[in-house]
Structure 1
Amino acid sequence: MGEIMESLEYLDRNYDYVVMEGAGSCCEINLLEDDIANLRVLEMVGGDAILVGDIDRGGVFPSLYGTVSLLPKRWRKLIKGFVINKFRGNPEVLKKGLERIEELTGIPVLGVIPYREDFVFPEEDSQVIQEKRVLGNLRSPVEVNVIRFSKIANFTDFNPLFRDTLIRLIDFQDDITGDILILPGTRCSTLEMKLLREHGMDRKIREFIERGGIVIGICGGFQILGRMLIDRDFREGEVGSIEGLGLLDMETIFGNEKVIKNSYGILEIEGERFKVSGYELHEGITISREKPLIKVIKGFGNNGEGFDGAIKVLEVGGRKAYILGTYFHGIFE
């Protein structure tokens, strides 16, 4: 908690306003004793909380009431107001409900935020990708397929593509229908590789490349593009070491401490250079014999030696196919 307080004091010294966003529910009663992602930290700095309810999922009033009722008294008094988010329709319909929740809790409703289809904000959690298969700009001529890994992580990496491309989430058994294929981050690269092979997706990816497709791997998805994922101590899980897709000449070895970095560097592709930044959150070091994608100015990259990712360009049937990967989350922003 000392390190958290030190960070908060730094923010207080350097900024006029600090907004703290909680993670998950602020009242998981089985986890309250160790929860440092919500009201405990707010209490440390004497802050006020606004409880936001997502009415689009349904059950917003029992969610608000239940949360307040289950909170310890000392945290309950931190809640200074409710906000109803993602409301569709006439707000007058909510009037009786708003009045009743105020009566029951003694906490005012500060406002109702309408649902806006034209606003593109990052989703709070990965539940959205379990509920939807098509996202983004439905009129776009460019289709991006994202493999819906079983333990997908950092799924907001492809949010910046929403405005300009159609995003189709595909499962292991689906066909690849897009112009670009993204292998996203995952909490278990070895398991995802096993599932890709079991469902024949590894073959479909190779066929996609032979048609001149573009394949992009991010973090765990980047590791999977290599020849081998070496996990002798089963750090990733029960799968252990496993052959990768073999699309890039590289291996990833697990066993190091997790890399957590804010990183930036220079990305080079087809003779063009771009400044890029992002964050790294990964285990494993990658030994690559391919051309690096990014020259790292700050960060860890593949193995701490100044380069990140890899890129390979293939000539297939008079067209170019691209295979590239990176450890940088947020690279599309």
Structure 2
Amino acid sequence: MSAPTLMVQGTTSDAGKTTLVAGLCRALQRRGWAVAPFKPQNMALNSAVTADGGEIGRAQALQAQAAGLAPHTDMNPVLLKPNDDTGAQVIVHGRAIGNLDAASYHAFKPRLREAVLASHRRLAGQYQAIIAEGAGSPAEINLRDGDIANMGFAEAVDCPVILIADIDRGGVFAHLVGTLALLSASERARVRGFVINRFRGDLTLLQSGLDWLERQTGIPVLGVLPYLHGLALDAEDAVASGQTAFVNGALQVLVPLLPRISNHTDFDPLRAHPQVSLRYLRGGDAWPAADLVILPGSKNVRADLAFLRAQGWDQAIGRHLRYGGRLLGICCGLQMLGREIADPHGVEGAPGSSAGLGLLDLVTTLAPNKRLANVSGRLLPDDVPVCGYEIHAGISHGPALNTPLVRLDDGRRDGARSADGQILATYLHGLFESAASLRALLAWAGLARPQPLDPAALREAAIERLADACVAHLDLDRIEQLLRSGAPDTA
């Protein structure tokens, strides 16, 4: 028997779809449901490696954790990773199939629809319920033809929809009513409830608006979720906003914000650490003095390296090292630190090569096939446990790699350490996720007595807090009824 599906769609990007799906997965799991998350199509540069050795959006890995599951490629069958403003790498069932521009992708949608529905069928055969997440908004008129991400999927699998809107942005009633107005009759009939997200203040002052909304649309408000301050959950894509200046007395960590930065969730444990002040440096900003500079991952390493140089950040990195600062390169950051980056196959753009920063004696060649792996090992030279994951197309070699940063449990060595100890480099994402490796790296960066912090425990606590909010503020009985009743009658 096929499991019922309930889909969460949003009036805008960042309305709260991801967090609502995660919260519902955990809340329903508490009620005894075997539930799985699902996102037909995701566009994000933050990704995760799955148990079956593929790549999905990092938000779906978070939702899998909320459901008590190991992440699987069927939970996000289509992932788009933008290379530039008009093209993206297309990943289907966890594997990259090539780069497509917008027009080519549109023509390719019928095949992607088959992949989406195949993944959904497999999940529906294994679990009691599926909580699906839309992408962006279902009211994007120019994207309706051949849609596989929102109502196109909901109609294909015949499921009801919850529409969520962010009241903190303002205009929440216009967002909800306007979105409904732009849907077809059959699509409007699928919207079986509203959720209002990120509310601050006295709910009684909102009640008259909720009553009007229900009278105007005939659709019930299933709940109003409060603004959960300090909720520490993995971002789907956008870099989290935060302070623009360092906090005095803290270890000061600077991350250049590259145009195609990827897996910036690497830095969430640093942002959460009470002794660390992390700042993302944007183009045009003055370069401040810092204790540690981290070059992050990138979806287009040569283009982002050119951007870094155009900002004068290569010279600033040189000054940082001359004054004794520490430098860490992660994934493409490792590649930038070497002597050369070659892309003979045009994996990330036009074929060619670029000179690296020349701070480590290694060269990198980009290859069509990515390495995808969850790994564990020992962080050197302290010999402390570390875990992480690899998502990279580059193959690096050179004398710098003879002094590795990580000794992996599978027998391989990863990364590099400079002779003076100022520079570290690794292909491992999630380097700060292990409490032991986080503490060792903070000590290396100059923090005298790093306080212990367990990022995994923080994430689990955030999921529990989110589920508690869903239990307290949503009509879960009615949501369960939606799951049990299936799709609406559109006759």
**How does the TM-score come out when normalised to structure 2?**
0.57
Return the offset for 1:235. 4.2
Look up the SS of the partner of 1:33 in the other structure. Answer: coil
SS at match of 1:241: strand
Aligned residues of 1:134 and 1:166 also touching (Cα < 8 A): no
Comparing 81-90 with 165-174, greater Cα deviation is found at 165-174
Which 10-residue stretch deviates more, 235-244 or 223-232?
Answer: 235-244
27-36 vs 162-171, which moves further: 27-36
Partners of 2:309 and 2:351 lie apart in 1 by 13
Pick from 257, 268, 272 the counterpart of residue 379 of structure 2.
268
User: Aligned to 1:145, which of 236, 254, 270?
Assistant: 254
1:156 has 2:265 as partner: yes
Q: CA deviation at 1:332?
A: 2.9
Question: Residues of 2 paired with 1:262 and 1:71: CA distance?
Answer: 41
Separation in structure 1 between the aligned mates of residue 248 and residue 226 of structure 2, nearest angstrom: 24
**Amino acid paired to 1:312:** R
Tell me, in whole angstroms, the C-alpha distance in 2 between the residues paired with 1:296 and 1:40: 44
Matching residue of 1:329: 429
Q: Which amino acid aligns with 1:190?
A: R
Distance 1:255 1:311, change over 3 A: closer
Answer whether contact 2:338 2:356 (CA < 8 A) is retained: yes
- In the alignment, structure 1 segments of 5+ residues that lack a partner are 299-305
Partner in structure 2 of residue 29 of structure 1: 141
Structure 2 Cα separation of the partners of residues 309 and 19 of structure 1: 38
Cα offset, 1:276, TM superposition? 1.1
Point out where structure 2 has 5 or more consecutive residues left out of the alignment.
1-112, 434-491
- Residue 171 of structure 1 pairs with residue 282 of structure 2: yes
* Cα distance, 1:78 vs structure 2: 2.5
Q: For structure 1, which segment, 158-167 or 282-291, has the greater mean C-alpha deviation from structure 2 after superposition?
A: 282-291
Q: Alpha carbons of 1:171 and 1:235: their partners in 2 closer, same or farther (altered >3 Å)?
A: same
The answer as to whether partners of 2:260 and 2:298 remain within 8 angstroms in 1 is: yes
Give SS of 2:139's match. coil
Match in the other structure for 1:310: 415
Match of 2:165?
A: 53
Q: Deviations over 1:273-298 (max 9, x none)?
A: 42413352x44333344134445668
Summarize the Cα distance change of 1:277–1:214 in structure 2 as closer, same or farther, 3 Å threshold: same
Per the alignment, do residues 235 and 277 of structure 1 end up closer, same or farther by CA in structure 2, a change over 3 Å counting? Answer: closer
Task: Quote the residue 2:395 is aligned against.
Answer: 285
Q: Percent identity?
A: 35
Matched residue SS, 1:99: helix
For the residues of structure 1 that align with 2:170 and 2:398, how far apart are their CA atoms?
48
Structure 1 stretch displaced more, 31-40 or 190-199? 31-40
Shift in alpha-carbon separation, 1:246–1:9, aligned structure 2, 3 A: same
Cα contact 2:297–2:333 (8 A) shared by 1: yes
Give SS of 2:338's match: coil
SS at 2:289 equivalent: coil
Aligned residues: 316
Q: Would you say the 8 A contact 2:344–2:351 is kept in 1?
A: no
Q: What amino acid does structure 2 have at the position aligned with 1:166?
A: S
* CA separation of 1:18 and 1:287: change in aligned 2, threshold 3 A: farther
- The partner residue of 2:184 within 60, 63, 72 is 72
Query: For 1:146-172, what per-residue CA distance to the aligned partner results, in whole angstroms no more than 9, with x for missing partners?
Result: 111122233323223222032211134
Matches within 5 A, 1:227-266: 227-232=339-344, 234-237=346-349, 240-257=352-369, 259=370, 261-266=372-377
Partners of 1:61 and 1:138 in 2: CA distance: 39
Per the alignment, do residues 325 and 111 of structure 1 end up closer, same or farther by CA in structure 2, a change over 3 Å counting? same
Kept after mapping to 2: 8 A contact 1:86/1:115: yes
**Aligned: 1:211 with 2:323:** yes
Aligned pair 1:191/2:300, yes or no?
no
Instruction: Give the aligned residue type for 2:372.
Output: K
**Deviation readout 1:52-101 (Å, 9 max, x if unpaired):** 21222222222222222222333333322111111222222322322222
What is the TM-score when the length of structure 1 is the normalising length? 0.81
- Structure 2 counterpart SS, 1:20: strand
> C-alpha separation between the residues in 2 aligned to 1:32 and 1:279?
35
Give the whole-Å Cα distance in 2 for the aligned partners of 1:207 and 1:263.
35
SS at match of 1:19: strand
Task: Tell me the amino acid that sits aligned with residue 329 of structure 1.
Answer: H
CA contact (8 A) 2:380 2:406 kept: no
Alpha-carbon RMSD across the aligned residues, in angstroms, is 3.0
Cα 1:208–1:28 change in 2 (3 A) is same
Once residues 154 and 251 of structure 1 are traced to their aligned partners in structure 2, the CA distance between those partners, rounded to angstroms, is 22
Residue 312 of structure 1 deviates from its aligned partner by 0.8
Alpha-carbon spacing, 1:125–1:62, altered in 2? closer, same or farther (3 Å): farther
User: Which amino acid counterpart does residue 259 of structure 2 have in structure 1?
Assistant: S
Correspondence for 2:21: none
User: How far apart in 2 are the matches of 1:93 and 1:125?
Assistant: 33
CA contact (8 A) 2:346 2:352 kept: yes
The one-letter code matched in structure 2 to 1:287 is H
What CA deviation, in whole Å up to 9, does each residue of 1:201-233 have, x standing for no partner? 112212223334332223332321221111345
Structure 2: how far apart are the matches of 1:25 and 1:331? 34
Alpha-carbon separation, structure 2, partners of 1:220 and 1:99: 52
Letter in 2 for 1:93: L
Counterpart CA distance in 1 for 2:405 and 2:159 is 43
Return closer, same or farther for 1:88/1:211 CA change in 2, 3 Å cut-off.
same
3-state secondary structure, aligned to 2:205: helix
CA displacement at 1:309 relative to structure 2: 4.4
C-alpha distance in 2, partners of 1:18/1:330?
28
